[in-house]
């Protein structure tokens, strides 16, 4: 009987032609939005977590003030004394500082602007490990007496910044001081970070006219120590050293685990807000299905009477119309899934080929597709409950008399 109901439902949907497609429009849009947003959100979260995993979970980041203050050029900073306090915390294996500034970069006759970071050769390994990058060509590590040396990011040596690639042995000018390129860095994954340039701390102090100032410090935790516990101990030690009470900190201490959790919360919140907006489209689509099914009941009143007259029960009529409305939702959901997959994969392709961003990936899973189809069927079925109930309650005599 179910097969007969499905066949009859399909025939009725096809016979309504344009009206059926217009009814499904809201389902198309809603399911397409949900599939594309969830797949992109899950893919982005997975890519970010993968990057965090590459950095290792034994890293702790210490930053002065708040993030807004840091990027707006605030006066607070870390210094060698702070690094000493961090180094003395039980469980800290190594700590290094970095100073960064937006800098004028000149190569040949071309000029651009990007971040240049100064790193201490003695702790270069931990600082680069914390960024998930390495020197792929050239001098693997700055020497203690290096000053005017530089390692350029991926975008420079691949040729995406200047007309000619910047390679090992070339000379570049940073804020009117000439530096020799001695290293080429691996790819980070987005074009802005891949435009960074790294120089020895001595060169950065001279270039930026700063001394004993770090924009961030990175500590590596010893094996068999809990990273979050060591981060808490660093915060207590720095608070004690600066004479601050809890809640008055003018610095931030974060482990990679905490950063991953914060990132995940933000991504999930954004994703759910946008999905909620997409649900409005599904609601509109559901109303369209309900309206179509009410119209169908009116158009097929005589047919319902015939079916009842030959022995169909109320529950049979109810099931017939619920299957039909659910089928409308399922067909709309199927097309919406296809559109959503095309949108998400298209955005992934654009991000990689146009904007050179490899972190934006679409994660299309069987669970997502099956869930979207089941949800669209549920929306269709729920939208058809009232019309189906009305059809099932028609009396055969009245239905047969209806014209």
Q: Highest mean pLDDT range out of 15-29, 98-112, 124-138, 306-320?
A: 98-112
Q: Which helix (H) or strand (E) holds 21?
A: helix 18-55
Band (pLDDT 50/70/90 cuts) for residue 71 is very low
Q: For position 194, what pLDDT does the model report?
A: 87
Band (pLDDT 50/70/90 cuts) for residue 288 is confident
* Span 126-155, pLDDT tens digits: 777 666 678 899 998 898 889 999 999 999
Report the candidate in 346, 339, 385 with the shortest Cα–Cα distance to residue 362: 346
- Domain positions in the chain are 2-52+261-401, 59-222
Strand-pairing partners, residue 51, are none
Query: In this predicted structure, which of 101-110, 232-241, 312-321, 364-373 has the lowest mean pLDDT?
Result: 312-321
Q: For position 48, what pLDDT does the model report?
A: 73
3-state secondary structure of 132: coil
Report the candidate in 172, 390, 393 with the shortest Cα–Cα distance to residue 293: 390
Q: How much is the average pLDDT of 179-208?
A: 89
Question: Is the whole model's pTM more than 0.85, yes or no?
Answer: no
Q: For position 111, what pLDDT does the model report?
A: 94
> Could you tell me if 120 and 78 are in contact, meaning their C-beta atoms sit under 8 angstroms apart?
no
Cα gap 286→344, rounded to integer Å: 24
Cα gap 385→353, rounded to integer Å: 47
Long-range contacts at 226-231 (CB < 8 A, ≥ 24 apart): 227/57, 227/58, 227/59, 227/60, 227/255, 227/256, 227/257, 228/255, 228/257, 228/258, 229/91, 230/60, 230/89, 230/90, 230/91, 230/92, 231/60, 231/255, 231/258
DSSP string, 91-103: TEEEEEEEEEEEE
User: Which sign does the torsion angle of CA 214, 141, 128, 167 carry?
Assistant: positive
| Structure-token pair, residue 379 | 């929306």
233 phi and psi angles, rounded to 5 deg:
-65, -35
Which DSSP symbol is given to 243? T
Burial class of residue 329 (count of CB atoms within 10 Å of its CB; 0-12, 13-18, 19+): buried
With a cut of 70, say whether residue 70 has pLDDT above it.
no
**What percent of the chain is predicted at pLDDT more than 90?**
23
Q: For position 300, what pLDDT does the model report?
A: 67
> Could you tell me if 46 and 264 are in contact, meaning their C-beta atoms sit under 8 angstroms apart?
no
């Amino acid at each position: 009987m179910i097969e007969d109901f499905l066949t009859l439902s399909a025939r009725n949907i096809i016979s309504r032609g344009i009206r059926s497609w217009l009814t499904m429009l809201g389902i198309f849009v809603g399911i397409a939005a949900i599939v594309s947003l969830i797949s992109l959100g899950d893919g982005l979260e997975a890519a970010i977590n993968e990057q965090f995993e590459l950095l290792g979970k034994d890293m702790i980041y210490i930053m002065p003030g708040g993030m807004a203050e840091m990027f707006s050029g605030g006066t607070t900073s870390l210094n060698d004394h702070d690094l000493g306090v961090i180094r003395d915390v039980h469980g800290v294996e190594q700590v290094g500082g970095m100073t960064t500034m937006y800098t004028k970069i000149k190569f040949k006759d071309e000029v651009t602007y990007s971040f240049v970071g100064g790193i201490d050769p003695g702790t270069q390994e931990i600082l680069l490990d914390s960024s998930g990058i390495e020197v792929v060509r050239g001098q693997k590590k700055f020497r203690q007496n290096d000053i005017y040396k530089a390692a350029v990011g991926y975008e420079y040596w691949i040729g995406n910044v200047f007309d000619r690639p910047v390679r090992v042995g070339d000379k570049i000018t940073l804020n009117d001081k000439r530096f020799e390129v001695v290293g080429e860095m691996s790819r980070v994954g987005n074009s802005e970070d891949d435009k960074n340039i790294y120089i020895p701390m001595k060169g950065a102090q001279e270039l930026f006219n700063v001394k004993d100032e770090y924009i961030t410090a990175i500590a590596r935790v010893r094996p068999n120590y809990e990273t979050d516990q060591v981060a808490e101990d660093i915060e207590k030690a720095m608070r004690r050293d600066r004479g601050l009470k809890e809640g008055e900190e003018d610095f931030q201490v974060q482990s990679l685990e905490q950063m991953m959790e914060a990132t995940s919360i933000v991504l999930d919140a954004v994703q759910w807000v946008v999905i909620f907006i997409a649900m409005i489209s599904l609601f509109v689509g559901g109303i369209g299905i309900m309206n179509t099914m009410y119209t169908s009941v009116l158009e097929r009143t005589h047919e319902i009477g015939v079916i009842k007259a030959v022995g169909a029960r109320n529950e049979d009529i109810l099931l017939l119309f619920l299957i039909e409305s659910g089928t409308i939702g399922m067909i709309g959901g199927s097309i919406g899934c296809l559109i959503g997959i095309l949108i998400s994969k298209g955005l992934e392709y654009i991000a990689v080929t146009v904007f050179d961003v490899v972190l934006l990936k679409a994660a299309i899973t069987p669970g997502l597709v099956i869930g979207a189809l089941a949800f669209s069927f549920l929306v269709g079925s729920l939208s058809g409950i009232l019309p189906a109930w009305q059809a099932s309650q028609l009396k055969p005599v009245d239905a047969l008399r209806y014209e």
